[in-house]
């Protein structure tokens, strides 16, 4: 039987190990979510243009018309929507709006390729419909109609992507079917100028935003000390987003700086988490690795004569889960 002192020292050792595991998990999860727990949503000039700015409604109408052969009549009202706290804590979708009661457009802006957009949009549309359809209407016997949803992602990252592609929710299904009972398609459009998508010809606000980003990258490539400031000056001179940049130049610089810091922080934290994972001989973020680590720790504590109740408290597990691991 171990002495009380030895048992206390052993308990301290395992508590430190548990803390180490939990802290490492926290940083991995933070790298996947957000570098700053206080930041609600990454800043984006495009999101501002399409949702926040005084010109947003006009820009949304232009965007809609560019994507549809039949133009939206001027008497049809556009109502902006915002889906909050979906997918990741404190994250919002970028811009959403409905055209009267006809079409519901959900838009996302991405600088990195993400094949999980259909899953995210599925979560978004559920929240949107909760906002649009009163609770009492959901229990009516008669059919409740709602606007036709459309899903778009505007991509302007540096990695190669074709001009356009369709992402389907069913591609992620474990069991494939030619006629899945649930489907959701996201139209991903490459808005980089070199991609040559027709949207840039039809929608001036998206084209000018794309040109603005290209000019910023030009100054960044030259290692300019004030790339945003000089890009704004050049765009105003060339008539690219001129009115917007004249009104909100300093705000735009702040948004771009925050967006750059956000993406840089994520890259750094992912790198740190991965490096630490390599030192421990694990690939962090893998659920299997975390479960296996916890199982091994549970068995080790039990071998050292810790009770089920003590292990449950230390590892914040249910006693039934501890017993299942021990008896496995």
Residues of the domain holding 199: 34-277
Yes or no: say if 204 and 58 are a contact pair by the CB < 8 Å rule: no
SS3 128: helix
Residue 7 domain-assigned (yes or no): no
Residue 265 domain-assigned (yes or no): yes
Backbone angles phi, psi at 148, to 5 degrees: -70, 120
pTM > 0.75: yes or no: no
pLDDT tens digits along 48-90: 999 999 999 999 999 999 999 889 999 999 999 877 655 443 4
**Higher per-residue confidence, 274 vs 310:** 310
Q: Name residues whose C-beta falls within 8 Å of residue 175's C-beta, 6 or more positions apart in sequence.
A: none
Residue 174 domain-assigned (yes or no): yes
- Range of 91-105, 231-245, 280-294 with top mean pLDDT: 231-245
CA distance 268 to 270: 5
Element (H, E) at 143: none
Residue 312 — pLDDT band, cuts 50, 70, 90?
Answer: confident
Residue 62 domain-assigned (yes or no): yes
Q: Longest C-alpha distance within the chain, in Å?
A: 84
CA distance 219 to 230: 8
Interval 6-13 mean pLDDT? 52
In 3D, which of 154, 157, 182 has the Cα closest to residue 170? 182
Yes or no: say if 326 and 302 are a contact pair by the CB < 8 Å rule: yes
Residue 25 domain-assigned (yes or no): no
In 3D, which of 206, 87, 192, 108 has the Cα closest to residue 150? 108
Residue 111 domain-assigned (yes or no): yes
Q: Is residue 105's pLDDT more than 50?
A: yes
Work out whether strand 164-168 and strand 148-155 pair parallel, antiparallel, or are unpaired: unpaired
In 3D, which of 205, 212, 103, 203 has the Cα closest to residue 149? 103
Of the listed ranges 49-58, 155-164, 217-226, 275-284, the one predicted with least confidence: 275-284
Yes or no: say if 211 and 196 are a contact pair by the CB < 8 Å rule: no
- Where would I find the H helices in the chain? 4-33, 45-47, 56-67, 117-132, 198-202, 204-221, 227-238, 242-279, 287-303, 308-315, 319-326
pLDDT tens digits along 108-120: 999 888 999 999 9
Q: Is residue 272's pLDDT more than 60?
A: no
| Residue at token pair 């009267």 | 100
Q: Is residue 319's pLDDT more than 70?
A: yes
| Residue at token pair 């457009």 | 105
CA distance 49 to 284: 37
| Residue at token pair 């735009």 | 252
Residue 292 domain-assigned (yes or no): no
Query: Taking the CA of residue 156 as centre, how many other CA atoms within 13 Å lie in the half-sphere pointing to its CB?
Result: 21
At residue 244, the pLDDT reads 97
Element (H, E) at 105: strand 103-110
Taking the alpha carbons at both ends of the chain, their separation in whole angstroms is 25
Residue 31 — pLDDT band, cuts 50, 70, 90?
Answer: very low
At residue 169, the pLDDT reads 97
SS3 186: strand
Q: Name residues whose C-beta falls within 8 Å of residue 93's C-beta, 6 or more positions apart in sequence.
A: 82, 83, 86, 106, 107, 108, 120, 124
- In the structure encoding, which two tokens stand for residue 1, read together? 């039987």
CA distance 314 to 100: 55
Residue 97 domain-assigned (yes or no): yes
State the total domains in the chain. Answer: 1
Q: Which residues pair with 96 in a beta bridge?
A: 81, 106
**Higher per-residue confidence, 271 vs 67:** 67
Yes or no: say if 87 and 133 are a contact pair by the CB < 8 Å rule: no
Q: What percent of the chain has pLDDT over 70?
A: 74
Q: Is residue 102's pLDDT more than 50?
A: yes
At residue 245, the pLDDT reads 97
Q: Is residue 206's pLDDT more than 70?
A: yes
């Amino acid at each position: 039987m171990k002495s009380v002192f030895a048992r206390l020292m052993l308990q301290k050792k395992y508590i430190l190990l548990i803390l180490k595991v939990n802290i490492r998990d926290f940083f991995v999860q933070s790298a996947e979510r957000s570098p700053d727990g206080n930041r609600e949503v990454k800043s984006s000039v495009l999101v501002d243009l399409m949702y926040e700015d005084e010109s947003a409604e006009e820009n949304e109408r232009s965007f809609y018309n560019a994507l549809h052969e039949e133009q939206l009549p001027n008497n049809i009202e556009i109502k902006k929507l915002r889906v909050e706290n979906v997918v990741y804590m404190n994250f919002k979708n970028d811009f959403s709006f409905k055209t009267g009661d006809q079409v519901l457009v959900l838009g996302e802006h991405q600088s990195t390729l993400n094949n999980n957009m259909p899953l995210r949009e599925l979560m978004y549309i559920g929240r949107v419909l909760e906002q649009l359809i009163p609770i009492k209407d959901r229990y009516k016997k008669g059919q409740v109609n709602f606007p036709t949803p459309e899903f778009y992602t505007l991509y302007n990252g540096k990695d190669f992507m074709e001009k356009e592609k369709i992402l389907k929710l069913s591609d992620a299904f474990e069991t494939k079917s030619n006629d899945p009972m649930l489907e959701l398609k996201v139209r991903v459009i490459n808005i980089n100028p070199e991609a040559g998508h027709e949207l840039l010809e039809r929608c001036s606000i998206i084209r000018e935003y794309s040109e603005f980003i290209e000019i910023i990258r030009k100054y960044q490539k030259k290692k300019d000390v004030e790339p945003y400031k000089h890009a704004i000056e050049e765009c105003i001179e060339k008539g690219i987003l001129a009115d917007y940049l004249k009104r909100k130049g300093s705000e735009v610089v702040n948004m771009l700086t925050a967006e750059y810091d956000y993406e840089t922080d994520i890259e750094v934290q992912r790198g740190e988490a991965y490096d630490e994972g390599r030192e421990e001989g694990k690939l962090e973020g893998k659920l299997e690795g975390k479960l296996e680590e916890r199982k091994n720790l549970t068995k080790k504590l039990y071998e050292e004569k810790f009770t089920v109740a003590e292990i449950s408290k230390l590892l914040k597990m249910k006693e039934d889960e501890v017993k299942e691991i021990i008896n496995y």
